[in-house]
Amino acid sequence: MRVRFKPLLLLVFFLITLLSPADAQQRSSRTRKPKTKAQLEREKRENLNRIQEANRILEQTKQQKEASLGQLNALKEKITVQKKVINNISSEINFIESDVKQTETVVGNMQTDLQKLKAEYATMIYGASKTANSYNKLMFLFAAESFNQFIRRLTYLRQYSESRKRQVKEISRVTTNLGQKITVLTRQKKQKTNLLNAQLNENRNLLTLKGQQDNVVQQLSQKEKELREEVNRRQAAVRKLDNVIANMVREEIARAARLAKSRAAAEGGTAAPISANKVSLTPETALLSSNFGGNKGRFSWPVERGFISQRFGVHPHPVLRNVSTRNNGIDIQTNAGESVRSIFTGIVRAVLEVPPYHTVVMIQHGEYFTTFTKLKSASVSEGQKVDAKEVIGTVYTNPDGTTELHFEIWRNTTKLNPETWLLNR
């Protein structure tokens, strides 16, 4: 007997395997903890501050009459943050809508309870009216057939009177709480209206920004020849800087190897095998290197204000088609005259001029190297020890008004993505 269903089973197994990662991702997104209202408000404040920073940087680039890539990058940053602000407001509106629904439910339930309480109280009043005078009460008591029944009727009259008083207090309490809830509901609805108006204004701002972006792209597109020449110059400069940094790293590796060899000779021992691609670490520098690596994702930015205008790796050109550029670090666009700071304790290994990157400062942290490029000036010298957040210079401002720091991190001879080492913004 021939088995014909085996290919079908293989196809089913393949589909299950193919769909499993997506299903896992969906399950992960469903189980992700939602943000609180306080977190959303904090994020909105942070994003609004980022927009203000981008505005200041954009105004500096606008001082030049002609459109520039720096101006385009600042507009892109504003658009990115603007979208986050809009999404943030949408989440706040969802929170408010949920609160409004809950409050409306509570108000409805309290109104129903109040109606029931009033109806019960009306019944009690009607019953009490039948024994409103002392004669009726006495007749009710002395009509008892026994002394025990007399006591029970007396107790009933007292409890009935106390029950009416409690009912009055309960009606008063529910009425007060209902008024408070209605006030809360009115405030929540007003907040929702304000948020909807804010969202509408932010959407208008987003449309304006996109129009400005399109205008700048159109202006830059008319200078295609100049842009292509600039790309070629930039890529040549990237290769030149890469070679300079690589040579400095190799020199430091060789210097550390010589020190290790001479130290071993002085101690009468034999130096450990030395790698041509790794820094020979002493116990002190090994600890420094370990501390640097252990702080990944927690380093302060090399400038206090700014945004990443160009990221690590290969990316398409923002204007030219079919053109890509490589970045061995990140570029941070910031304000004119912004101070540059070391991100960690280390030793300054080089301060030199590398046209067109102007002043370059390289700091060693054990087997890690941080390089700061496009500095107008440096306030440190070779061999100097620096601490975290210590100012090492100021950023250079281009003729087009763009102030941009180029920042790289290397581990021995390997280039790393600096963005993953810095605090999120």
- The confidence score (pLDDT) of residue 43 equals 82
Q: pLDDT confidence of 10, banded at 50, 70, 90?
A: very low
Least confident of 177-181, 211-215, 301-305, 401-405: 177-181
Q: pLDDT confidence of 24, banded at 50, 70, 90?
A: very low
Token pair 């509570």 is found at 106
**Residue 204 pLDDT exceeds 80:** yes
**Residue 276 pLDDT exceeds 50:** yes
More confident residue, 162 or 306: 306
- The confidence score (pLDDT) of residue 394 equals 97
**Residue 290 pLDDT exceeds 70:** yes
Least confident of 102-116, 144-158, 318-332, 366-380: 144-158
Average pLDDT over residues 72-82: 90
Average pLDDT over residues 236-256: 90
Q: Which CATH number fits domain 38-219: 1.10.287, 1.20.120, 3.40.50, 3.10.450?
A: 1.10.287
Q: Which residues contact 395 (CB under 8 A, 6 or more apart)?
A: 303, 334, 336, 337, 338, 339, 340, 374, 375, 376, 403, 404, 405
**Residue 124 pLDDT exceeds 80:** no
- The beta strand positions in 234-338, using DSSP E, are 307-310, 313-316, 324-327, 330-334
Residues, the chain, total?
425
Helices (H), 130-223: 134-142, 147-221
Q: Across the chain, what does the average pLDDT equal?
A: 81
With 0.75 as the threshold, say if the pTM is over it.
Answer: no
Q: Please tell us whether the domain made up of 227-313+324-421 is placed in CATH 2.70.70.10.
A: yes
Torsion angle (degrees, nearest 10) of CA 286, 287, 292, 294: 110
Average pLDDT over residues 5-26: 43
**Residue 28 pLDDT exceeds 70:** no
Q: pLDDT confidence of 270, banded at 50, 70, 90?
A: low
Phi-psi category of 2—alpha, beta or left, where left has phi over 0 and alpha has psi -120 to 50?
beta
Q: Nearest 5 degrees, angle CA 295-CA 297-CA 300?
A: 85
**Residue 147 pLDDT exceeds 60:** yes
**Residue 338 pLDDT exceeds 80:** yes
Please, where in the chain does CATH 2.70.70.10 lie? 227-313+324-421
Query: What percentage of the chain carries pLDDT values higher than 70?
Result: 78
Please, where in the chain does CATH 1.10.287 lie? 38-219
More confident residue, 340 or 210: 340
pLDDT tens, residue by residue, 348-400: 999 999 888 899 999 999 999 999 999 999 999 999 999 999 999 999 998 88
